[in-house]
Structure 1
């Protein structure tokens, strides 16, 4: 054989390459498709475009299904296809072209013998390439050539020669490259000209529907949810799905196996380690093993884990090679989840002591870069709790333990923190977690220890503004839970002083911090009876930044504002704010804080005033389920007030008195809570025929213009002390901010007093005013409690016309009033949302909760939340009652 030049004898091309090695027929035949091969029409249709473009590239990772896809497509064509599977030896130019010419001859391509074949393994004569291109250009139709595993060809010379032939063949050749990497051809030219068809990794990935069909071919029939989970875990990787299916076939419970299989101990691991990891040089293998502990990583972070520089070109190369390294941009990367899982297991096996250190290095690097969630995750994985807690506190993110979408995740993360963590930050986190659960004693113990540690550090000249500001926040919360308005005010002043020592951009990043401070401060002011001052700070929260981290705080502040409106006699305003306060928490989207349930409580109190007693009970039940009594002073006192009112309306005065005395552990007594407790006790005494005792319990209640003065006056009048009642009303005269509920009760007191004094005309005029003021808010309860003499006046013209349609009194002014919802046609207190109507419709079809969830593509818990809301809005407690009430209201 000549050392250089071309051998013009075409017969040699059929027997041996320039090295004298015989041609292996298996390299020129497409692989056979297995019986379980799934033809995917969307990819086949895309590949059909290869017949219209000179170049096609099927570029994907190992096991992505590239080769079988192209082989199946080629088998379906009614034309010859030249197939060549490249090998490492083909990186020599002469060898490559000898094999490609043999592939053409095997296909029966009508090429003249004059083309010749390479005689030198390392080079090919340019004339041969020109003759081949000319012959191809003269064909009657394009010749289809598939080069499989083209990533093994790395010589730029071969890429240049191939591009020369492809270009000069004109329309006589269609080249399909099946590769793991981007070939060295000038792809940009083909892309600009629209002359390339590309199928990449993302398109090669199996969809859930395709995965289900593939599993069916293996005799595995899984629920849709299980199939979706498997696709998510494998990212639709063809080889992973096939290997999982083959392994599952050998088990007694394939569904459980596919759900719980350990990737590190499976054929998937063997495949990835052999096909991907072990193909890399030793430094690259070490890099991949180390970054496997990360969800995502930058080259600089990879350098920090390896202890050497130069990761950037390595990672970029791995991405180009489709070596299961995904480029997320800017310039973040991540590993394929199965590959990462297998690498982590391999790392633990090879270097079990290294993983915690890698997490610690990652946490330190990420902490400097400001990536807090990842810092916390890696710090916890390293078991370095002082570092982890320090990162949370230094970032001023301790408020996220109380509010926001990450609250439960953070609580779960720090649950593993042991006593070995002794820093001030660790104690602050412990205090926050305890106070979040309203565990006051434990929380205060940790908080005082943190404050002492910070004070010792300050004496040593080490200032920690973030730690001290976090202490102030927790002090305000502790003061709220302990009913200490003075303590809350002092902590709030301290926090205000410390704000100037913290960078403004850090404060802007965490709007929940100031919102928490103001919410807790507003709650303590409300407890102290300073309603206007409470409204000021709570309104600042509601009107503050609309960040996701402040959603719960805005809703909690709205609930407190609703209670303030209710106490001031504005039931309509209270109802609107309370409903707005339910927000995302009622829909089950966010976890509720310890002071929650207040919105339901205010709505219950309004329902009692409207004599909608079943509705009130349902709302109180929801409040109790949302937040047990005794955890938050304002919420507890509010629930006691509403419960007592409901029991009085039901004619159970003793039970009402007991409910009103629900103890609240507080350092300072709440004036409005004390007043309503005394009013309930007075009503109980009066119901049992003890007017003197009823009057006596009212003696110590201050009446200096307080909103409850109208009810105090009514209680005095009911006990037979007309002058005392009128004196109390005089103290209320001119008081600003009181609403229609107070005006109605004031008018009723004066009307009854006038009637008892024989001035019926004045009584009737006052009753008319009361009816007009009450009608807008449907305030029925005050009239039902007004006594038989007043109720008889209400039945006479023209007062009866003012009451018509909304106020129903017991016949003849006698007897105990009942629930108005049982006496008048049912009303929808609040419009049902679209989703609630969807749930109600399916409820009427006798569908179970699980069936409704599946039909609406919701979680079961979300459906349960919607059902509770439907029951509350329809004032029912059971499914059948909800359907019946909905039909009465023509909602179905």
Structure 2
């Protein structure tokens, strides 16, 4: 009786099921589960995704896998709506725990609803929890015989967790080809052998990264909500939401009601919005209590691997839990190599809940993370978490002990470090490391007095420690800052002592640590070289600066000392009268600046002074003025006496070239504050003042300044000889030149002037043949270097010799190749010439763009075209070639 009754019940359920009235439980089918969702009015159709989804017509299996609110369902629903010719069966699956019988009953009903006829032998299951193998087999045979494939969409497939359902569905898919196209919309990886379909090219996949909105799509979405935002505002909201569809829509809904939508989006507080409600309900509350606690704790981290995750959670299985959350698209993103991050909005909401649920725990979590990152050698992360914990003693010690103090001055993290430690204040630790950091912070922004006070305090604190090994890095930091303050104050001996101390301590530190921070010794050598340059030790300066320029080639963190060292080597060339080599080195320094992305205030500015000096020698006075106007915008920590003296002297020489002797004298009268006097700076200043006296007709006053001039430097010596000659002492002038053997030690700007002094003496003595020979030699050498200024400043006596020597020119034109270069194959456009003129003024690509009111990319395009037309590959070659062709 029981057996017959059971069979009767089974027949009743199957019969009702075929009529589409009841499911295996005897309840009516829920029609909403077969309905294709209707997109909202503000829905944005994205053609790139629709085109990708067309692959569902060519592959048996399509997977649309993304996080909650990624727009998966609406994407597929819109794709279905735009293709009415397709036979589409839509089924939104039920909650977890749904039995196999219930699943297959709803799947069959979805097919019937879509118009697929089911024969009598394919009956609805009577048991809600199980189904036999016959049903999938019969259905596969039916679908496999169709002329047109059926598209079966299973939405929210992540709710289906029963392995037997996945196995039966895979059987159906495999044996119904080509009559079935299965589209799974899910948050998690389905329990199907995706690797097989992927290897066979039978899988179409759309995942989270592709579902994310691009800035262009986000702008169009905002317009659909009536919001017209600036590109910057759109980029900002896309970055913050990572292109998450629900986040963008909820932000747009909030901004619609705001009087200033852009400000609303900029100040959007995720933890107090509908975004928080969505993520808490759809993501956090779906997890068990232990997983929720883990998510709250890891929210203090940005990018993190297993070690910091374990440190903040105290769970050995943290990595496994994070991997599971990533697979289930729970807003935990795997960025590669075992490193994870939380979606920024999710992290923001979790941190707010952490503060609410666990008051006072957040600093402790940051402290644990800082210790973990420091042990792993991840200094930036250790510093960030140490600062967030408010443990400034730890944070400063981490920076100093890692030998990274130099990064306050150079490298891409200089601004970040300054901002981070600006929160430290006066009560953030009282050990040597915090004091060193305070000193570095002040010196990096040009506060020499404040930095020196902090540096002395740090020195005193390091001497209190008995164990020298514990303070090696701190003493190294002191040496670096000592060298910098010595440079800034013009105290060369102090710089020498600091560098000797650092070299002695170097052997006490692990070689790997020293090698990891090439900027440390690059800065030290640059400081030493500049201090020696101020002292007039040109050979020692050249040696130190050459080593600094070769340290850490190509590394962004050494870009500033390399650029500054190259620029000061170029300044040495100017002081030795070698303008051509000085120009090449200065442009090499500029190229270093451009390659590394240093903004002008972050560079030294010395190269612009050098180029201005070369322009004065060539009497390109407008260009010299433009270069001097920008040379003052230099890194605050590099505004040393060498820079200030160089600026004053070159400015004065420009005034002399313009016929403004009073302004020239005024430019050098103030002098440069420094603890020691620079012999060459004092001598050059005296020669400028003497030249001003000569221009005003006071030769004896000019001669009275000569005791200030060092006669062991060729440029100063030749200048002194010119003054003696003008003061009526030609014999003394020539004897001075003979004694110093100028021709053997100096460059063309000096030797040309020396030859002209001798020519002037020969002219006075009536030896016109010797004078003509000397002038001819001077003109030839000046021609090669493009020097006009030495011939102009020689005076009226030279004109007859120039008429004979160069009948078509009062003085020689800029240097040209022995064979005149051919003109460009294609004429440069006006805009290309505009760009080249600014390139000759040592302007960066960004500065040219700003000056011409065009984009950086437009400038790069003009430069590329100009390089092609001039047959050159670099900016200095382009400038040189343009000069040769008189294009500037």
- 2:458 corresponds to which of 450, 459, 472: 450
Q: SS of the residue aligned with 2:536?
A: coil
Query: In the superposition, relative to structure 1, how do residues 362 and 3 fare at CA in structure 2: closer, same or farther (>3 Å)?
Result: farther
Is 1:667 equivalent to 2:675 in the alignment? yes
Question: What residue in structure 2 maps to residue 49 of structure 1?
Answer: 55
Question: What residue in structure 1 maps to residue 151 of structure 2?
Answer: 144
Is 1:11 equivalent to 2:18 in the alignment? no
Question: What residue in structure 2 maps to residue 415 of structure 1?
Answer: 422
- 1:262 corresponds to which of 253, 266, 269: 269
Q: SS of the residue aligned with 1:87?
A: coil
Q: How does 1:302-317 map to 2 (within 5 A)?
A: 302-317=309-324
- 1:86 corresponds to which of 61, 68, 93: 93
Question: What residue in structure 2 maps to residue 2 of structure 1?
Answer: 6
- 1:490 corresponds to which of 486, 497, 500: 497
Question: What residue in structure 1 maps to residue 26 of structure 2?
Answer: 20
Question: What residue in structure 2 maps to residue 60 of structure 1?
Answer: 66
Is 1:326 equivalent to 2:328 in the alignment? no
Which deviates further from its counterpart, 442-451 or 515-524?
442-451
Query: In the superposition, relative to structure 1, how do residues 187 and 656 fare at CA in structure 2: closer, same or farther (>3 Å)?
Result: same
TM-score, with length taken from structure 2: 0.89
CA distance in 2, matches of 1:332, 1:604: 51
Q: How far is the alpha carbon of 1:689 from its aligned partner?
A: 4.5
Is 1:549 equivalent to 2:557 in the alignment? yes
Kept in 2: contact 1:558–1:580 (CA 8 A): yes
Q: How many residues align?
A: 842
1:441-471 deviations in Å (ceiling 9; x for gaps):
22222112212222211x2565322222121
Q: How far is the alpha carbon of 1:395 from its aligned partner?
A: 1.2
Q: How far is the alpha carbon of 1:591 from its aligned partner?
A: 4.3
- 1:366 corresponds to which of 373, 379, 392: 373
Q: How far is the alpha carbon of 1:525 from its aligned partner?
A: 1.1
Q: How far is the alpha carbon of 1:830 from its aligned partner?
A: 7.0
1:455-508 deviations in Å (ceiling 9; x for gaps):
211x25653222221211111111111111111111111111111111111121
- 2:775 corresponds to which of 767, 775, 792: 767
Question: What residue in structure 1 maps to residue 869 of structure 2?
Answer: none
Q: How does 1:144-163 map to 2 (within 5 A)?
A: 144-163=151-170
Question: What residue in structure 1 maps to residue 854 of structure 2?
Answer: 852
Q: How does 1:779-818 map to 2 (within 5 A)?
A: 779-788=787-796, 790-798=797-805, 800=807, 805-806=812-813
Query: In the superposition, relative to structure 1, how do residues 301 and 700 fare at CA in structure 2: closer, same or farther (>3 Å)?
Result: closer
Query: In the superposition, relative to structure 1, how do residues 226 and 527 fare at CA in structure 2: closer, same or farther (>3 Å)?
Result: same
Q: How far is the alpha carbon of 1:737 from its aligned partner?
A: 3.3
Query: In the superposition, relative to structure 1, how do residues 691 and 142 fare at CA in structure 2: closer, same or farther (>3 Å)?
Result: closer
Kept in 1: contact 2:759–2:770 (CA 8 A): yes
CA distance in 1, matches of 2:261, 2:277: 20
Which deviates further from its counterpart, 190-199 or 707-716?
190-199
CA distance in 1, matches of 2:385, 2:104: 52
Which deviates further from its counterpart, 577-586 or 544-553?
577-586
Query: In the superposition, relative to structure 1, how do residues 618 and 627 fare at CA in structure 2: closer, same or farther (>3 Å)?
Result: farther
CA distance in 2, matches of 1:165, 1:601: 78
- 1:77 corresponds to which of 73, 84, 94: 84
Q: How far is the alpha carbon of 1:592 from its aligned partner?
A: 5.3
CA distance in 2, matches of 1:89, 1:341: 29
RMSD: 3.2
Which deviates further from its counterpart, 289-298 or 649-658?
649-658
1:194-231 deviations in Å (ceiling 9; x for gaps):
22222211222222232233223222232333323322
Q: How far is the alpha carbon of 1:556 from its aligned partner?
A: 0.6
Is 1:398 equivalent to 2:405 in the alignment? yes
Kept in 2: contact 1:767–1:799 (CA 8 A): no
Question: What residue in structure 2 maps to residue 879 of structure 1?
Answer: none
CA distance in 1, matches of 2:247, 2:373: 32
Query: In the superposition, relative to structure 1, how do residues 578 and 90 fare at CA in structure 2: closer, same or farther (>3 Å)?
Result: same
Query: In the superposition, relative to structure 1, how do residues 829 and 193 fare at CA in structure 2: closer, same or farther (>3 Å)?
Result: closer
Kept in 2: contact 1:264–1:341 (CA 8 A): yes
Q: SS of the residue aligned with 1:852?
A: coil
Which deviates further from its counterpart, 154-163 or 729-738?
729-738
Q: SS of the residue aligned with 1:17?
A: coil
Q: How far is the alpha carbon of 1:116 from its aligned partner?
A: 2.3
Question: What residue in structure 1 maps to residue 749 of structure 2?
Answer: 741
Which deviates further from its counterpart, 622-631 or 97-106?
622-631
Query: In the superposition, relative to structure 1, how do residues 511 and 628 fare at CA in structure 2: closer, same or farther (>3 Å)?
Result: closer
TM-score, with length taken from structure 1: 0.88
CA distance in 2, matches of 1:754, 1:388: 72
Q: SS of the residue aligned with 1:672?
A: helix
Q: How far is the alpha carbon of 1:634 from its aligned partner?
A: 0.6
CA distance in 2, matches of 1:267, 1:561: 61
Q: How far is the alpha carbon of 1:584 from its aligned partner?
A: 5.2
Q: SS of the residue aligned with 1:199?
A: strand
Question: What residue in structure 1 maps to residue 821 of structure 2?
Answer: none
CA distance in 2, matches of 1:460, 1:300: 31
Query: In the superposition, relative to structure 1, how do residues 318 and 841 fare at CA in structure 2: closer, same or farther (>3 Å)?
Result: closer
Question: What residue in structure 1 maps to residue 125 of structure 2?
Answer: 118
Kept in 2: contact 1:438–1:632 (CA 8 A): no
Kept in 2: contact 1:436–1:593 (CA 8 A): no
CA distance in 2, matches of 1:441, 1:594: 21
Structure 2 unaligned spans of 5+: 816-832, 861-874, 877-881
CA distance in 2, matches of 1:836, 1:668: 32
CA distance in 2, matches of 1:668, 1:476: 15
1:241-288 deviations in Å (ceiling 9; x for gaps):
222222222222323323332222211111111111111111111111
CA distance in 2, matches of 1:140, 1:209: 41
Q: How does 1:681-696 map to 2 (within 5 A)?
A: 681-696=689-704
Q: How far is the alpha carbon of 1:857 from its aligned partner?
A: 9.7
Query: In the superposition, relative to structure 1, how do residues 29 and 330 fare at CA in structure 2: closer, same or farther (>3 Å)?
Result: same
CA distance in 2, matches of 1:756, 1:850: 53
Q: How far is the alpha carbon of 1:374 from its aligned partner?
A: 1.3
Q: How far is the alpha carbon of 1:781 from its aligned partner?
A: 1.9
Kept in 2: contact 1:66–1:204 (CA 8 A): yes
Q: How far is the alpha carbon of 1:3 from its aligned partner?
A: 8.9
